[in-house]
Amino acid sequence: MAGGMMKLVECVPNFSEGKDLWKIDEITAAIKNSPGVSLLGVEASGDYNRVVVTFAGGPQEVREAAFRSIARATELIDMSLHEGHHPRIGAADVCPFVPISGVSMAECVELAEALGRDVGNKLGVPVYLYGEAASGRWPERESLSEVRRGEYEGLAERLKEPEWRPDYGPSEYGDGIRRTGALAIGARKLLIAFNVGLNTSDVAQANKIAKRLRESGFVAEKDGKRVRVLGRLKKVQAMGVPVEGGGTEVSMNLMDYEVTPIHVAFEAVRHEAEERGIDVVGSEIVGLVTKEPLLMAGRFYVYVYAREGSDVELIEAAARGLKLVKFDVKSKVIEYAVGLDG
């Protein structure tokens, strides 16, 4: 860095493989061996059958590493054989760019467009731009859940719809797309993937909690008509899923932590669970997170633990209040992981 703030972009690609460690190692090696980037996290789930990879670096270096990992994933993963609980449309399922420091959202949109062109033209994979990369052009594609609607199994039919023609890459379904599926590439604000574990094996109960909380809510019968009842939490996506060991969890995407902070989401799940006689047994942040949402939670929980102090101490208070598992400050918080703090 020469005068000014370091240019730092986070990239969080999700790949549809959570069980075969050799394939996961091959995909992440493409990132590790790319110059100018730091591999910050690799979190695989056998239940979801996906791996969430987090890395960061300079804008162009991140784009090149993303392309290399996507290319390797499309070589190794056959979507026609894939099964898993998490929504997905492709071997390399989603690839967002997130501005962290010294980089604007507009620059991340440019990265998404450039990567989309390369993936579509060089790898023959249909690419949909989403989030800020679709803003103003395809409003219906701003939401990742809309891009994923119908999932991989519905891709052949969706490609026939003129309004769902890919931004880049082929639009006619064939053997290549049958194997690779499609890919959503976008630019967005920090998203927090946050799972709250419950001490029940009843997935229907976990789903009821998710439906009550997520912004889109649920459809109910009222006066003989089907009406949508909106959920309690704005900018939140949620679903109930089973996990290994017989439990369940409410799996959430917090799309804007300034609208719904992480501690607000956690306490809402706890409240809904308690009303059903269910206990929260822990929570997990999937991937990495920046300091601020944890500091916000720490300021909330500090009154519970009657402790004030440094940023690290506030983050530790947040971890206790949120019952976080598999959480280490130096590896889970982006600023510490890349050496910007501490």
Show the 3-state SS of 235-281: CEEEEEEECCCCCEEEEEEECCCCCCCHHHHHHHHHHHHHHCCCCEE
Give helix then strand counts, H and E, for the chain: 12, 13
| C-beta neighbour count of 192 within 10 angstroms | 23
Length of the chain: 342
Residue 86 is among the residues annotated as catalytic for this protein = yes
Roughly what angle, to the nearest 10 degrees, separates helices 21-32 and 59-76? 150
Q: How far is CA 28 from the centre of its chain?
A: 17
User: Rounded to whole angstroms, how far apart are CA atoms 325 and 282?
Assistant: 6
Catalytic residue among 82, 85, 86, 263: 86
H helical segments located in the chain: 21-32, 59-76, 105-123, 144-147, 155-158, 175-180, 203-213, 262-275, 291-305, 311-321, 329-332, 334-337
Contact 288, 333 (CB under 8 A): yes
- Among 1, 103, 13, residue whose Cα is nearest residue 52: 13
Task: Give residue for tokens 């989030």.
Answer: 131
DSSP state of 67: H
Q: Which residues contact 177 (CB under 8 A, 6 or more apart)?
A: 125, 126, 155, 156, 159, 170
In whole angstroms, what is the distance from residue 108 CA to residue 248 CA?
A: 35
Sign of CA dihedral 141, 66, 241, 249: negative
Contact at 8 Å (CB) between 104 and 9?
no
Q: Which residues are catalytic?
A: 86
